[in-house]
Amino acid sequence: MSSSYWAVVPAAGVGKRMEADIPKQYLPLRGKTVIEHTLARLLQHPRIQAVVVAVSSEDRWWSGRLFQDNERIIRVAGGAERCHSVCNGLEALMSLAATKDWILVHDAARPCLRKEDIDRLIETLHDHPVGGLLALPISDTVKRADAGGTVLETVDRKGLWRAMTPQMFPLAKLYQSLREAIAAGVQVTDEASAMEWAGFSPRLIEGYSDNIKITHPQDLAQAEVFLKRQERGE
Ligand SMILES: Nc1ccn([C@@H]2O[C@H](COP(=O)(O)OP(=O)(O)OP(=O)(O)O)[C@@H](O)[C@H]2O)c(=O)n1
Ligand SMILES: C[C@](O)(CO)[C@H](O)COP(=O)(O)O
């Protein structure tokens, strides 16, 4: 029997680095909010059953959004860190999905995700023993610096990639790995690092470079440009 595909969207952050008055996932972007673009990209994909969104309990912006009454959107409480928010989403799916169903975890702050990238993840990983994630090989020279910005060393970039999302793993394995890594005090900044800690080797899949995470103020204008280009079919 073929597996189903579900999405978990961590959307409970405050966006400190964005230096905005509201959480960055609710900032305006080409006539909608950032999160509305992100959720639309996932909901429009025919293979994705439903999207579990982790929203902060202090969130004042979610209610009244376009998706509030969408039956393919399940809201759960966010957590103190991104990994806790994702864990809460996975916990909700444990009573809805099969243990081997594939979960695509995607940041609310990445609104430029293309259907082709979701297609590539599913086509490449649907029968993979572990799962994997979208990523970009690093093409710049990489420096390590001290807190004051003084270069300490140039890092060999051979084999180095930047992780993006979605990150796609089987529900039960991901949920268990994430909970155990968190319990062990591991710094878990993405789902793949929890799977790696559990001894699995995720597969990296090169994605589009416009799948940026809106993190700093200038990223919003960049996302505007990328969405405009995508609308023109570029
Ligand atoms: N406790 C948290 C923290 C972050 N996130 C989500 O995880 C994604 C990626 O995290 P990041 O870009 O770090 O968002 P913030 O934590 O909001 O940003 P900052 O670190 O600048 O505050 C975002 O969609 C964010 O909403 C979450 O669901 N729960
Ligand atoms: C998951 C992620 O987007 C992969 O690059 C990244 O780790 C999120 O990090 P953040 O510090 O929570 O933005």
Please give the distance, rounded to the nearest whole angstrom, from the Cα atom of residue 1 to the centre of ligand 2.
33
Please tell me whether the overall predicted TM-score, pTM, comes out greater than 0.95 for this model: yes
Domain segments of the chain as ranges:
5-232
Q: Which candidate, 175, 165, 140, 176, places its Cα nearest to that of 155?
A: 140
Which residue puts its alpha carbon closest to atom 16 of ligand 1?
13
Pairing of strands 132-137, 203-206: parallel
* 82 Cα nearest atom in ligand 2: 12
Task: Give residue-wise pLDDT tens across range 76-104.
Answer: 999 999 999 999 999 999 999 999 999 99
Q: What was the pLDDT predicted at 65?
A: 67
Please give the distance, rounded to the nearest whole angstrom, from the Cα atom of residue 24 to the centre of ligand 1.
9
Q: Is the CB of 50 under 6 A from ligand 1?
A: no
ipTM for this prediction:
0.98
Fold of 5-232: Spore Coat Polysaccharide Biosynthesis Protein SpsA; Chain A (3.90.550)
Q: Is the CB of 216 under 6 A from ligand 1?
A: no
The pLDDT profile of the chain, 234 residues, written as one tens digit per residue, is 578 999 999 999 999 999 999 999 999 999 999 999 999 999 999 999 999 999 999 999 998 666 778 999 999 999 999 999 999 999 999 999 999 999 999 999 999 999 999 999 999 999 999 999 999 999 999 999 999 999 999 999 999 999 999 999 999 999 999 999 999 999 999 999 999 999 999 999 999 999 999 999 999 999 999 999 999 999
The one-letter amino acid code at 74 reads: I
